């Protein structure tokens, strides 16, 4: 069984602190929590995290001032608790999958994992790349040992390169993304 603290520490090492890059499509970001991501969360949940706001400037300030504990609370509530991460057998696979989920969203991260499993000779008829992190995907992940990480790295790197191929303004981030991918 995977542990939240290990996974969230892995993410936080990759995410760093406050960033407000003009080409970042997520907007201002702190500890990996972006403006656009927080705007997508209901006001009720935002209040639960201690992040109530009424306008964009207030939200920007909340992001700038976000504590480590608040970021962890958001990660636990928005990612960990709603999915099967804790049931992944290998902590290293869980950490990497959790990191992808924070970076790309749960659906895209799940598609990357599902395609990585195909590279491990999983039959496509038995596991489609539907982006649903359900019991079938979980069982298939747990059927493989940690070498699944190698195929996850390759699929994620391909995804990053595709982002840049579709939008050249994102090329400024590619080297950092690939370093994160293969770390």
CA angle 87, 93, 112 (to 5 degrees): 100
- C-alpha dihedral over 15, 21, 23, 27, to 10 degrees? 70
Model pLDDT, residue 119: 92
pLDDT, tens only, 22-34: 999 999 999 999 9
Model pLDDT, residue 28: 96
3-class DSSP assignment, residue 118: helix
Model pLDDT, residue 16: 83
Model pLDDT, residue 108: 97
Which residues does the chain have with pLDDT short of 50? Answer: none
Rounded to whole angstroms, the maximal C-alpha distance in the chain is: 50
DSSP 173: G
% of the chain with per-residue pLDDT over 90: 86
Please give the domain boundaries of the chain with CATH numbers for all domains: 4-80 (no CATH), 89-182 (1.20.141.10)
Phi and psi dihedrals of 88, rounded to 5? -80, 130
């Amino acid at each position: 069984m995977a542990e939240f603290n290990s996974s969230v520490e892995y993410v936080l090492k990759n995410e760093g602190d406050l960033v407000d890059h003009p080409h970042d499509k997520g907007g201002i970001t702190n500890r990996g929590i972006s403006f656009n991501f927080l705007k997508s969360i209901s006001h009720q949940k935002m209040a639960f995290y201690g992040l109530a706001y009424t306008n964009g400037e207030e939200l920007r300030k909340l992001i700038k001032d976000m504590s480590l504990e608040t970021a962890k609370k958001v990660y636990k509530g928005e990612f960990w608790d709603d999915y099967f991460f804790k049931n992944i057998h290998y902590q290293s696979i869980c950490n990497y999958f959790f990191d992808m989920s924070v970076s790309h969203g749960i659906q895209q991260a799940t598609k990357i994992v599902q395609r990585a499993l195909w590279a491990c000779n999983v039959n496509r008829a038995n596991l489609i790349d539907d982006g649903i992190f359900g019991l079938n995907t979980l069982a298939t992940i747990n059927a493989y040992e940690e070498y699944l990480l190698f195929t996850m790295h390759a699929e994620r790197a391909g995804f990053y390169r595709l982002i840049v191929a579709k939008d050249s303004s994102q090329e400024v981030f590619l080297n950092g993304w690939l370093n994160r991918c293969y770390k």
